[in-house]
Amino acid sequence: MTTPRLDILGHALGDVSRTQMLCELMEGRAFTNKELASAAGITPQTATAHLKLLQEAGLVTAQKSGRCVYHRLASAEVAQVLEQLAAIAPADNLYRAQQRKAGGLAELRSCYDHLAGPLAVAITNALLRQGLLVEENGGYQVNSSDKWERIGVRLPDKPGARPFARPCLDWTERRPHVAGPLGRQMLNHGLAEGWFERHAHKRGLRVTRTGRVALQQILGLDSNILHGANQNA
């Protein structure tokens, strides 16, 4: 029987500079060594050593483009694990860095490739309440509805190897929001249609007037929740 090397992950996460760089990468974009060094408040040389360790642990990948090397999280699964660790971690290191990146307790933000924060939890609850999602065996079953197209979701023709929708524990709410391909499609659609806009804090999002109207009409979200997303954005 093969024993998972959790000690390797523990070592990789056991440094505040490395967790700060991971938080920067939680946005979902790729960053250069210099950009990550700046985010962590360390020298590029030190960042290089940290990134090598994170790569060896399978948390980060690197790709060269021209003269630059860009680093990103290895997968959406890594982002999910980091989000869930932040939800149970003491209020320091990863947790505080996440707070800064999210603009405080942001009502709406991106969690790698999907929506997160109190508003994302409210959206997930609305999907469950209306029967579009059904909790099943610790995951989500997706039911057909014409509402999916209205929020930019195209359901798969047949089940894939990985879940189309899955719960992701929100680090501020301690309740799940929806992730997986379904969550990614909703975020991409919302940005493309101008429902959401990014602000100075890279992961933070604000809901536009168009987005408020759409989410109220389609999902019946409470207007107070939608206005709160902009007050904290």
What residue ranges define each of the domains in the chain, with the CATH number in brackets? Answer: 6-74 (1.10.10.10), 96-231 (no CATH)
6 or 115, which is more confident:
115
- pLDDT band of 213, cuts 50, 70, 90: very high
Are 31 and 24 in contact, with CB atoms under 8 Å apart? yes
pTM for this one?
0.68
pLDDT digits (tens, 9 = 90+) for 27-80: 777 899 999 999 899 999 999 999 999 999 999 999 888 888 999 999 888 887
The values of phi and psi at residue 110, to 5°, are -95, 140
pLDDT digits (tens, 9 = 90+) for 148-200: 999 999 999 887 778 899 998 887 787 899 999 999 999 999 999 999 998 65
Q: What is the mean pLDDT of residues 92-109?
A: 55
Residues 33 and 17: their CA atoms lie apart, in Å, by 13
Mean pLDDT of the chain, nearest integer:
85
- pLDDT band of 102, cuts 50, 70, 90: very low
Query: Residue 84, exposed/middle/buried by CB under 10 A (0-12, 13-18, 19+)?
Result: middle
